[in-house]
């Protein structure tokens, strides 16, 4: 994974030399994403800058990627996991210039005029800008769920600018905004088009559809297997919770062989390393040790202090580009962990984001009244994931040049898991209570599919949010710190100072103040929807159980308390 920056719409008379210098300076703001090499393309119509983190073909594969005739120029942030299959299926000859997995995008663009069709063939995580010099046409696109970040806007001359992180466009584009996931923009039609729209989004398309435990398990195993594509050392994030433990368990089964050679050769780094972080006494650190011992990983459990986390907050907010409370709480230990991982020479990790959105893992899903509402909420949460867990995982890790991959959000696995009738995902208490008592826990259908993979104490462990699992003193300390450093007078005037999404707590105010220092103005503020996590007090949760309306704190621990109180009532 890397970073890209593009400026399109250059006109005769523009000072190309000055614009090139400006583009390089802007791109430097996101060089942490690509510390290995920089590449620049400049012509009379466009400027593309690429900061590279070399994961596949580290000796070659430098970007921007050009066709042999120089007519197409491509800058990509991401990975195309099925690039070899796509290369084999090409109908027209294409002279590949590198071993990069991303170069197949140039080949597909040249071969197929239906942009949406070939974008839907990609299995990967990506954000790219493609420049067609001959047609003076550019194409911008983002992966289906927005795992890779992307922002765009217009400079004062009306030129379209695009970058991997918002910080590269601050001061350049007054209208900076997120580029929407699952969309592409084609300058030839001047249209923003949604290309990713699956039948399973509609509950009626899933009603009565059964997915066996074996099919679910094998689909996830394939997702993990293809995402192990790497020419550099990699590892897994292991909190000891269900999701990260399943990722680690599957990765451990494939780690001894090299994926890029169809498992015919021994892996260059055959021992799987796992990583966890927490405060002293962290529930996650203890659970991760149990999981790692069962899986046989080379495990690294790191501890941090509250003061170290607090010291990192300004940098965390600058990197993750949000003021969402839950995201910042969880991003801080992840940011510190990424620094440790980077110091060990690891450049890629697999992580467990997305499982809760697919299988209804948040605790308020216990109160879903029926399968239709359960399913519709999972779709809504997947649509919003790019603002929360995907943003956190990507930017916290990439702050130190470590690429996170998320097998639960693999598009082929999604098609299997989301076409399942949500009735099978519901916790007992929905339309038809499940027959076995074990089903009174979230994500039981996933747990059952992996019986025997993990110790029961891990496989059936109750969910905790990452910010809770690193140690309960982390959240309590943050709230106490904000109480001291945000006065009652400041907080009373919050709506006047921050008219876009006014902070609702002193902790939220504290983060918002740090955010504003790096990202001033209404446009930047509007890139954060609502400013509070979708994991708590959402309209859906409140509709299902009015008790959630009092849950101002988005901590999983707080929500669990609300849920238990609701059950008792």
As annotated, the active-site residues are 2
User: H or E element: which one contains 234?
Assistant: strand 234-237
Structure tokens at 43: 């012509």
Measured between alpha carbons, how far is residue 49 from residues 162, 169, 427 in Å? 10, 13, 49
∠ at Cα 164 (160, 165), nearest 5°? 100
Q: Report helix, strand or coil for 422.
A: helix
Alpha helix (H) residue ranges in 1-99: 16-28, 83-88
CA-closest candidate to residue 296, choices 278, 275, 274? 274
Q: Do residues 288 and 301 touch, judged by C-beta distance below 8 A?
A: yes
Nearest CA to 317 among 99, 460, 478, 435? 478
Distance, CA of 397 to CA of 466 (rounded, Å)? 15
Q: Give the CA distances from residue 15 to residues 11, 18, 41, 66, 439, in Å, rounded to whole numbers and listed in that order.
A: 9, 5, 15, 24, 65
The answer to whether 152 touches 176, Cβ cutoff 8 Å, is: yes
**What is the rounded distance in angstroms from the CA atom of residue 522 to the CA atom of residue 377?**
29
Q: Structure tokens of 554?
A: 């988005």
Pairwise CA distance, residues 527 & 320, whole Å: 12
At 19 the three-state DSSP class reads helix
Give which of 259, 237, 263 is closest to 248, Cα–Cα. 237
- State the DSSP H helix or E strand holding residue 336, giving kind and residue range, or none if neither: helix 325-343
CB 349 within 8 A of CB 403: yes
């Amino acid at each position: 994974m890397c970073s890209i920056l593009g400026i399109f719409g250059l006109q005769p008379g523009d000072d190309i030399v000055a614009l090139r210098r400006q583009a390089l300076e802007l791109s430097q703001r996101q060089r942490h994403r690509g510390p290995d090499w920089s590449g620049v393309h400049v012509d009379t119509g466009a400027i593309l800058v690429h900061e590279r983190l070399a994961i596949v073909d580290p000796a070659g594969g430098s970007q921007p990627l050009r066709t042999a005739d120089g007519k197409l120029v491509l800058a990509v942030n991401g990975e195309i996991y099925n690039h070899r299959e796509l290369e084999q299926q090409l109908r027209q000859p294409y002279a590949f210039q590198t071993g990069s997995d991303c170069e197949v995008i140039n080949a597909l663009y040249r071969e197929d005029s239906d942009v949406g069709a070939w974008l839907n063939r990609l299995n990967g995580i990506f954000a790219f800008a493609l420049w067609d010099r001959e047609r003076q046409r550019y194409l911008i696109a983002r992966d289906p769920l927005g795992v890779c970040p992307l922002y765009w806007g217009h400079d004062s001359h009306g030129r379209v600018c695009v970058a991997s992180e918002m910080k590269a466009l601050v001061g350049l584009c007054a209208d900076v905004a997120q580029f929407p996931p699952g969309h592409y923009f084609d300058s030839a039609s001047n249209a923003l088009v949604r290309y990713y729209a699956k039948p399973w989004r509609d509950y009626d398309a899933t009603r009565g559809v059964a997915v066996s435990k074996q099919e679910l398990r094998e689909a996830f195993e394939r997702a993990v297997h293809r995402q192990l594509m790497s020419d550099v050392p990699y590892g897994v994030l292991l909190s000891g919770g269900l999701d990260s433990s399943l990722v680690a368990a599957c990765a451990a089964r494939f780690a001894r062989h090299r994926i890029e050679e169809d498992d015919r050769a021994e892996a260059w780094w055959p021992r799987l390393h796992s990583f966890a972080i927490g405060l002293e006494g962290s529930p996650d650190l203890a659970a991760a040790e149990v999981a790692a011992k069962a899986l046989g990983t080379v495990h690294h459990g790191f501890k941090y202090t509250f003061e170290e986390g607090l010291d990192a907050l300004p940098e965390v907010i600058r990197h993750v580009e949000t003021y969402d409370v839950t995201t910042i709480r969880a991003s801080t230990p992840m940011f510190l962990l990424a620094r440790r991982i980077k110091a060990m020479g690891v450049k890629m990790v697999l992580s467990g984001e997305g499982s809760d959105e697919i299988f209804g893992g948040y605790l308020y899903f216990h109160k879903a009244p029926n399968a239709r509402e359960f399913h519709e909420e999972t779709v809504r949460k997947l649509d919003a994931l790019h603002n929360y867990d995907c943003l956190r995982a990507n930017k916290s890790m990439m702050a130190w040049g470590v690429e996170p991959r998320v097998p639960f959000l693999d598009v082929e696995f999604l098609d299997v898991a989301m076409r399942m009738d949500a009735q099978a995902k519901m916790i007992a208490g929905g339309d038809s209570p499940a027959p076995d008592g074990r089903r009174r826990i979230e994500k039981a259908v996933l747990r059952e599919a992996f019986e025997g993979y993990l110790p029961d104490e891990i496989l059936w462990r109750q969910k905790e949010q990452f910010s809770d699992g690193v140690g309960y003193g982390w959240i309590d300390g943050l709230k106490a710190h904000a109480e001291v450093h945000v006065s009652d007078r400041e907080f009373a005037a919050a709506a006047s100072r921050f008219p876009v999404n006014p902070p609702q707590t002193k902790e939220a105010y504290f983060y918002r103040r740090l955010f504003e220092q790096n990202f001033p103005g209404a446009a930047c503020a509007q890139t954060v929807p609502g400013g509070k996590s979708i994991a708590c007090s959402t309209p859906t949760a409140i509709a299902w159980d009015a008790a959630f309306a009092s849950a101002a704190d988005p901590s999983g621990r707080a929500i669990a308390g609300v849920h238990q109180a609701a059950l008792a009532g």
